[in-house]
Amino acid sequence: MSAGPGERVTGHPVLAELDRALAQGAAPEVWIRFPRQLGDVVMTLPFLRTLQHHWNAVAAARGVQLRWVAVGHHIGAALLSEADPAFIAASHIEGGGAAKPDPWALVRGWRKRPPAAFLNLSQSARLPFAAWLSRVPIRAGIADNHLRLLYHHPIKYRDLPLHIATRIQPLLATLTGDDRALWLPLTPDLLGGRKGPEKLREAGWEGEPYATLAFGTRGFGKRWFPEGRTWPELMRLLQARGLCPVLLGGPDEAPLGAELAAAVPGALNLAGRTTLPEACAIQSAAWGNVAIDTGLAHTAAATGRPTVTLFGPSPEVWVNPIGPRALALRGPDVDCDPGAVADFPTHGSSAHRISPARVMEVLTLLTKES
């Protein structure tokens, strides 16, 4: 049974389970363990939006408000750390090693009063184990890593020949009866990050239109080589259009950002100087965004602003960013122009065959869409 975004699914078994759990005294909370990577977190948000639409309605009919609690690795869960409490009430950011969640501590708290539901959208085993021990009424999640017995509602996720965002839709249908995940625009009203424009001004921005460039990633082979040529050339094309280039990235990318900005006077380097919600807020007000295959490509596309993502080794058909004005570009898999044969290491990528001029043309076309 499928319902539209303005309708409530009635008579669905899991909605009835949720209502029963709340009636029997479960805490009105839904704990969600998000994936490790930022892009994967962004691609779960349409699922989350639709789930909240249905589950919040069940709770409201019982006179309570659900509290949504996010847990995840600092790379991805930090996106939700400043979110509107009505969207994500609390965000527990975990590190590695000893900083991972202590399942026994969760069990001690949950056994007194378990949350109504626990959802695992990652490969983590600690939290689903704690939820199973605590007899959380509704347990669901990805079960590829032998966790099926811990869930009431398991799904297969890994290695499916589907876009990552659609792999989780069977779980949405199971939990709500609604099989249509809806895009969720990532705005400062939703995610916070309101200090982003302030940091942009501190870097030297004077209010002119700007474009953001997400140039770095830990996946070295995904980068747009040769970086000393490609990014500066694109930044100069942007400046010729009266646009300020703004470099965004994490702390690890700050040195390269400084190097690229120094090559083009007037470019602003904010790499390592913003939180993820602040970077997202900056992207949401940009004339356009350009990124390699990295997490900030997904946040840029999800803001709804024009976004071009440059792909090299990754299969964009399965991982391309989702948004109403987002396009992926890939260079040809073989050298088509004898004069363009690379004289530098390409690390197995074809992104070096995408010219800055093409990126500029495609981004300009996207800005003309309403």
Write down all domains in the chain, each with its CATH number in brackets.
Answer: 13-184 (3.40.50.2000), 189-367 (3.40.50.2000)
Q: What is the DSSP letter of 137?
A: S
What distance in Å separates the CA atoms of residue 302 and residue 296, rounded to the nearest whole number?
A: 10
* Helix, strand, coil percentages in the chain from 3-state DSSP, rounded to 5: 45, 15, 40
The pair phi, psi for residue 23, each rounded to 5°, is -65, -30
pLDDT band at 58 (very low <50, low <70, confident <90, very high): very high
Q: Looking at the predicted structure, is the pLDDT value of residue 1 above 50? A: no
Contact indicator for 116, 23 with CB cutoff of 8 Å? no
Question: Which of 116 and 9 is assigned the larger pLDDT?
Answer: 116
Whether 91 and 70 have beta carbons less than 8 Å apart is answered as yes
Q: Is the pLDDT of residue 284 over 90?
A: yes
Listed in order, strand segments (DSSP E) in the chain are 27-33, 67-73, 90-94, 115-120, 138-142, 153-155, 210-214, 244-248, 268-269, 288-292, 307-311, 326-330
When pLDDT is averaged across residues 193-203 and rounded to a whole number, the result is 97
Banded pLDDT at 337 (limits 50, 70, 90): confident
Q: What is the value of pTM for the model shown?
A: 0.93
Q: What is the pLDDT of residue 151?
A: 97
pLDDT of residue 344: 80
- Give residues with Cβ within 8 angstroms of 156, minimum separation 6: 142, 143, 144
Span 318-336, mean pLDDT? 91
In a 10 Å sphere around its CB, with 0-12 CB exposed, 13-18 middle and 19+ buried, how is residue 152 labelled? middle
Top mean-pLDDT range of 11-15, 145-149, 288-292:
288-292
What is the average pLDDT across 15-21?
97
pLDDT at 98 over 80: no
Rg (CA), the chain: 22
What Cα–Cα distance (Å) separates residue 98 from each residue in 31, 94, 110, 355? 21, 9, 21, 45
